[in-house]
Amino acid sequence: MLRPLLYQTFFTLGKREVSRFDRDAATPEATQSRHLLEIIERNAASAFGKKHGFSSIQSVRDFQNAVAINDYDSLSEYINRAADGEKGQLTVEDPFMFATTSGTAGERKMIPVTRSYIKEFRRASVVSGFNLLKSHPNLTKGIALSVFSPADRKTRRPWSSTKSTRDRAKCSAHQTDQIPANERVRGHAEDWV
């Protein structure tokens, strides 16, 4: 009884986000350019933004000229500084956690995650969920299960309340591939437990 009501509420509230998405999708180049320039303006005072002259960037072409194509290694100094607690490295908004990659292409890498990113991710999830329910209305009659996990997951070891904050962060990172930003822990989760 409650589940259909929840799905209907989600569907109704999702219409606004879908309308915005559809409007933006009608002009993808202009939308992406506008969004990029908003990100650049918002992050002009970050260490990365200062180094690359974000405050003087007025167009996508300016950005392309100012910032070379980067890989993880070229950004790692900023990521490591942010993980060590230095403010305003890649973005003005400090990460609230660091997700980690699975390490299938080498060492595990820390990915800074900001609250702004989570907000954008949720907006995209609403659009995706809305379209899923619209395409498959019978989903409202059952339970949907989503599973996200690397295929090479090792055995997990639960942590107890008697362990230190650092140990809990290590175990938590091992279990969820997320490192709280304030823990400033680096290394491989397998070495932590």
DSSP helix/strand/coil, 52: coil
- Give domain limits for the chain: 2-192
- For 60, how many CA atoms within 13 A lie in the half-sphere containing its CB? 8
DSSP symbol at 55: G
- At residue 44, φ and ψ (nearest 5 deg) are -60, -30
Place of tokens 């938590």: 172
Q: In this structure, what token pair is assigned to residue 186?
A: 């680096």
CA angle (123, 129, 131) in 5-degree steps: 105
> Is the CA virtual torsion 71, 75, 76, 77 positive or negative?
positive
Each of the 193 residues of the chain gets a pLDDT tens digit; together they read: 677 777 778 778 888 899 999 999 999 999 999 999 999 999 999 999 999 999 999 999 999 999 999 999 999 999 999 999 999 999 999 999 999 988 888 888 999 999 999 999 999 988 988 888 888 888 777 766 666 544 444 433 333 333 333 333 343 333 334 444 444 444 444 444 3
